Amino acid sequence: MIKYITKRFINMIPVILGVILLVFVIMELAPGDPVLLILGDNASEEARIAKTAELGLDKPLVIRYLKYVSNFFRGDMGTSYISNRSVSIEVLHRFPNTLKLSLVAATISILMAIPLGITAAVKQNSFFDNISMVVSLIGNSMPAFWLGLVLVLFFSLKLGWFPVQGATAGWKSYVLPSVAIGFMNMAAIARTTRSSMLETIRQDYIRTAKSKGISKNQVIMRHAFVNALIPTITIIGVQLGNLLGGAVITETVFAWPGIGRLMVQSVGSRDVPMILGCVITLSICYSIVNLLVDLLYGFVDPRVRSMYT
């Protein structure tokens, strides 16, 4: 098991290298000279040449990439063109805010979605089932940034219950952003839980369990739920990824001091090292989430577990 986990972590390295290369190459296409961006249009010729050499921009792409990678693994992601501060420090400073918001949203949405999905499946075609499925269909289609605006309109501007933006009001500042991004997750997870429960309930081993005379609740929780969890885990992984990717947008709506907002600001100011830092950090998080999800399969399903050894 430990061997397997180590192997999976090692397998992540080429993917990270690939991500860095890809983003590096794409950003290479960006028009404009970063030196002018830093020094301004009126800089002297010598100053420009000196700055270009200092940034290493006179070297070919391959050399710059290798240098970036070797620095990256030493924890150095370069210096911001704009603020002249270390990208690593800036990103690490913002990262906890993004992580906290994502975790709060994910936890709440998972804790609500799974019971909802199970109940809907057990009472298939009931009023409760229909209502909760309509709600989750809508939730699944509601753009998080718009939901954020609507929530702000009603709960901040009209009712004044929660702050309009920022992360300075304690738990209250978490409510609206986590609902805005969590609602879609909840909807997707609830729908998957329901359909995989329905699928599981029809399996032969559920009939076997019933024929043992154990109570309906036990059949559902002990026999059906654990098996239905397997597809649900997949969708939870996908949704956590969306959560991180969507951070860019919701953080902008709520002026949340996280990586997503940092990235949007950096795109606006063409701060290439900062953009690289944000994308790479979030992509690594995304890969780690996917890895954890894969490991969770093994935890739930002995068939997967036996493939590890």
Partner 1 sequence: MQKEVKVKTNLEQDFPKTSWSKETIMRLRRNKGSMIGLAFLILLLVMSLSADILFDYDELVIKQNISERLQWPSIKHIFGTDEFGRDVFARLVHGSRISLLVATSSVTFSVIIGGALGAMAGYFGGEIDNLIMRVTDILLSIPMTMFAIVIVAALGASTGNLILALGIASVPIFARVVRGAVISVRDVEYIEAARAIGANNFTIIFKHILPNCLAPIIVQITLRMASAIYNTAALSFLGMGVSPPAPEWGVLLASGRSYIRDFSYLTLIPGFTIMLTILSLNMLGDGLRDALDPRLR
Partner 2 sequence: MSNDIENILEIDNLFVEYRTQDGIVKALNGLDIEIKKGTTLGLVGETGAGKTTTGLAILGLIPDPPGVIVDGTIKLNGEYLREKTERQMEKIRGKHVSMIFQDPMTSLNPVIRVEDQIAEVIENHNEVNKQEAKILARKMLEQVGISKNRGKDYPHQFSGGMKQRVVIAIALACNPDLLIADEPTTALDVTIQAQVLEIMKELKMRRNLSMLLITHDLGIVAEICDMVSIIYAGRIVEHGTLVDIFDYTRHPYTKGLFNSLPNMKDRTAKLKPIRGLMPDPNNLPSGCIFCSRCDYAMPICSSVYPDYYNINGHVVACHLYNPENIKEEVLFYGQ
Binding site for partner 1 (CB under 8 A): 14-15, 18-19, 22-23, 26-31, 137-138, 140-143, 145-146, 149-150, 152-153, 157, 241-242, 244-246, 248-249, 252, 263-264, 267-268, 270, 275, 279, 282-283, 286-287, 290
- Determine which residue in the list 14, 31, 170, 213 makes contact with partner 2, applying CB under 8 A: 213
Residue the block writes with tokens 């890969």: 287
Stretch that binds partner 2, among 14-22, 74-82, 218-226, 280-288 (CB under 8 A): 218-226
Q: Which of 223, 239, 247, 273 binds partner 2 (CB under 8 A)?
A: 223
Q: What tokens does 28 get?
A: 């290479």
123 binds partner 2 (CB under 8 A): no
- Residues near 23 by Cβ (< 8 Å), separated by ≥ 6? 275, 276, 279, 280
CB of 138 to partner 1, least distance (A): 6
Query: Least Å distance between CB 46 and partner 1?
Result: 29
Residue placing its CB nearer to partner 1 in the complex, 15 or 111: 15
The token duo for 241 is: 């990824």
The DSSP symbol for 299 reads: H
> Is residue 128 exposed (0-12), middle (13-18) or buried (19+ Cβ within 10 Å)?
middle
In a 3-state reduction of DSSP, which class is residue 86?
strand
Contacting residue, 88, 227, 252, 283, with partner 2 by CB under 8 A: 227
Residue 124 CA, chain-centre distance (Å), reads 32
CB of 128: closest distance to partner 2 in angstroms? 17
**Rounded-to-integer distance, Cα 115 and Cα 59, Å:** 57
Pull the structure tokens for residue 31.
């028009």
Q: Are 275 and 267 in contact (CB under 8 A)?
A: yes
Among 22, 123, 215, 288, binds partner 2 (CB under 8 A): 215
Q: What is the DSSP letter of 262?
A: H
Residue 203's binding partner among partner 1, partner 2, none (Cβ under 5 to 8 angstroms by kind) is: partner 2
Q: In degrees rounded to 5, what are phi and psi of residue 110?
A: -70, -45
The reply to whether 1 sits near partner 2 by the rule CB under 8 A is no
The verdict on 211 binding partner 2 (CB under 8 A) reads: yes
User: What tokens does 120 get?
Assistant: 């809907």
> What are the E-state strand segments in 137-273?
none
Closest to partner 2 by CB, 107 or 215: 215
- Looking at beta carbons only, is 191 or 223 nearer to partner 2? 223
Q: Which residues bind partner 2 (CB under 8 A)?
A: 203-205, 207-216, 222-223, 226-227, 300-303, 306
